[in-house]
Structure 1
Amino acid sequence: MSIALQVTDLSKTFPVGKKLFGGARGSVKAVHPMTLSVETGETLGIVGESGCGKSTLARMLVGLLPPTTGTIEIEGAALDTADPAAFGKRIQYVFQDPISSLNPRKTIRQIMEAPLRLLHGMDRAAREERIREIFDSVNLRADFLDRYPHEFSGGQAQRIGIARALAAQARILILDEPVSALDVSVQAQVLNLLADLKREFGLTYLFISHDLAVVEAVSDRIAVLYFGSVVEEGRAEEIFAHPRHPYTKLLADSAPVVGRPLRDPETGQAELPNPLDPPPGCAFAKRCPYATEKCRATAPVLEQIGPDQRVACFHPLPAR
């Protein structure tokens, strides 16, 4: 199968504070250099705690943030990361908060027409035909087009957000917590819709979420992020059935499961390290029961540990 998206050594560093005579006081590495690939038609789930770099990665992939280092390739063609417009036709973003992501001063028709006019130069008749086709695909009525965003429920607004992403005719969608702001019953409807659209249009998804049950259900592969780095990657069924990194096991064990007693909360060093003063070795060492002096002194790199599983750990958990 062909590669839809390839990122190589992609990283993001933010300057922090200002000195009296100019320049930054320091910097924060939000995303450490990472290399990932997503096959055409695949769903890659990206999971991790708040602050691990998930949304920063997503914003770099769609051109909202310029990367500090690295390259982004879509279907083998490198994108000009200095030109955000280069991303629009190739990759699109579905935001977490559906209503606030829509311009409250514009009608849905105006919102939908923007990518068709600016990216594809369609005339009015072609735009109208394309919008009606997309609205039919996401199960929305045509009379919604002349309303404003505040007139819709969260589920309807998220369908509009998905339709806007599809309007640009991109084949890769970044789904950043697309159902976390919705009621549980509506979440299921939106997830089923995304599955149908993926089959209908041959889409490729990057699905970012903190809800492990949702990610496991929709993803083909999963990348686990911690403190800006990928610590484990592999097939979804293997990642949660047989986690090899202690952090992945912590995430899996923390997810509530019917019939299983809740775990006691972590104590002590349960927070992410200070980004202004990162530890010299493995960022997870202070929380890891298997950490050794080697872990605290040297950062592990992502290495192949199975047929389709990679882990960044000096003491990976045994395969079950």
Structure 2
Amino acid sequence: MYSDTFSKNIFMILPGFEAQRIDNFLHNKLKGVPRSMIYRILRTGVVRINKKRIKPWYKLQIGDEIYVPLIRTMRSKDANISHKTALVTALKNSIIYEDEYILGLNKPSGIAVHGGSGLQYGVIEALRSLRPVTEFLELVHRLDRDTSGVLLLAKKRSSLRMLHEQLRENSMEKNYLALVQGRWPIHVQIVDVPLLKTIQFNHHSMVRVHQDGKPSQTLFQIKENYAHIATLVQASLITGRMHQIRAHALHIGHPIILDNRYGNSDLSKHFKGIGLQRIFLHAATLSFIHPHTKQITLLSAPLDKQLNNCLKSLRFSTTPIK
């Protein structure tokens, strides 16, 4: 069962909505329209601002009048409604902090932060459904689909600008918990090697250590050893490159357990046998300056049941992996 949705929109940019890119603005306003379709109508020039064609990266100004023509989208009613309802319920129970300026979430593993690549709904789409009267709701940063933990969203344009400035200045403190293969060397407390983005894993992006890459630094602290099987480490980001912790752990020779891109598949059978079904990487804490109170704010996300059970099993295990 499919239904067609048609919409014709004219938007006027008011104070508070300026300086954002037109593609992001339309993605927020045109509910249910895939991001790929938004890019397509921008590239073809059918979206007009002040009766003129614009580029997808055009930044809005106060007083801009945006004309968007008829848009036709196709939706599978039953499947989409069922998936969206389950996702909204899961995220409703995962909110760890909220006020009128920001929202903090303990994102479950397996949920993408936004729709795309075959996914109708992600975190941002589900939360917008959960908060229909909230005029503005945008991701401050991202987490990989299989990574769990603290995810921060802004509920005001001004909050997003302030938080993005902290990201650019590397003044946010992000701490992750990762279970890595083997015994992490005590002397390795910082990994400082450049990372270069490439396309190679099933046409997906990866990074690798390369002299032409961007400067990347991660602090590592041992939290718990499990014989010679694995080590629980805290990884603190100094820079925020894509897959930085995963690539740096691999570089040291201790990849993250069940990392399907940078890990060691030989260990998968053992850890799946004790109930671990996904990468052991969790965004444990996020510290930042609150955009309104200007006070240091710390958001913490506890490990989920699967990760906790994995650690309990390791604590009672005395048989090393051969």
Normalised TM-score (structure 1) = 0.25
Higher relative contact order (CA closer than 8 Å, sequence separation 6+): 1
Bigger proportion of residues as strand: 2
Bigger proportion of residues as helix: 1
Normalised TM-score (structure 2) = 0.25
